[in-house]
Amino acid sequence: MTVLAIAVALFFAMNIGASGAAAAMGTTFGSGAIEKKRMALILCSVGVLLGASFGGQEVAETIGSGVIPSSIINLKVVLIILFSATMSLFIANMLGIPLSTSEVTVGAVIGVGIASQILFVEKLLFLLLIWILVPICAFLLALFAAKGIKLLENHSSAIHQPNWQKRFTYLLIGAGFLEAVAAGMNNVGNAVGPLIGAGVLSMNTGTVIGGVFVALGVLLFGGKVLETNGKRITRFSLIEGCSITSIGAGLVIAASILGIPVPLTQITTSAIMGVGAGKSGQILFKKRIIKRMLMVWAVSPVFSLVFSYGLVKLFLESDMYSLVAIGSMFLATVGSLYLIKTVREEKAMINEQGSGI
């Protein structure tokens, strides 16, 4: 059981690297500061490992005992939390969507807490508030930065000279590396926090081993998310990339020092969206990739919550009635979504053909 729990945690850590940590280097890659994708992933993996090893302890403690009491966390509970979070993250990675590992992990922990009827509600509400406010803050800071950059570009041609562009390139690479360090600090606790809370691994050992596997996830599976954040949301210059990456790194490092797990990819992507909105207004929000991200962000924490709740009821309490209720709710949700889609298609046919079905 112990070996299985550690194996699931390390697999989860690799998915964290693919989803969250790789997004940290998205702006550096997208702006052209680092042209080769492999080089960006290598630099990101080094930063992640450093951040996890030397600064991942605070968030790991929060995940391990900050939302539910550590007294109810045993090997079976650890497996349920990690398996539920891993499945949510794995699905998002297959879609190429940068997903918040903090949200799916805390969602799985909450599911266990609800099933066990033990939950630190005040801490949970505080986390939810932070999850809402920090991406909004990143978006607004990036929006104001984009306006300032646009004003600067209109009144000064010096920043377009090769010597200034070279400086911005080095600055952006440094900021990207710093954001990768922030990713390691904040994300490694999502994978190893439950193991540390259950006493399976010590704090130092857990964060170092977790950091190694997060870095491996960056190298092996991070390419698709890197392209999503860097190329498919909006185009940005070197100076815009500096503002995006600096905002993300600063906010995530501050949260990590305080032991707050925050949605790293939402912060980075929100900053990218802020720059895009500052350049093109509302046009950015019409892109399908943005809509897909928002939908996955909203659904995934709930999915991992329901998943972990159902597993607790099945394997720890043998409560089949709860599983029937969850399954019925799932079928009703899928059926409702299909019905809405069908109604919209019928309306489109009426508008196009001028007649009924």
pLDDT at position 357 is 45
The answer to whether the beta carbons of residues 31 and 236 sit under 8 Å apart is: yes
Mean pLDDT of the chain: 82
Q: Is the pLDDT of residue 350 over 60?
A: no
Kindly report the pTM of this predicted structure: 0.81
* Local confidence band at 356 (pLDDT 50, 70, 90 cut-offs): very low
153, with CB counted inside 10 A (0-12, 13-18, 19+), is middle
Scan for tokens 């690799």, then name that residue: 14
pLDDT at position 69 is 84
Span 259-296, pLDDT tens digits: 999 887 778 778 878 888 887 665 455 566 566 667 76
CA–CA distance, 251 with 255 (Å, rounded to integer): 6
The two structure tokens encoding residue 312: 């607790």
The two structure tokens encoding residue 173: 């690479």
Q: Which sign, positive or negative, has the C-alpha torsion 69, 74, 76, 80?
A: positive
Span 36-51, pLDDT tens digits: 888 989 999 999 999 9
* Local confidence band at 194 (pLDDT 50, 70, 90 cut-offs): very high
Q: Could you tell me how far CA 33 lies from the centroid of its own chain? A: 23
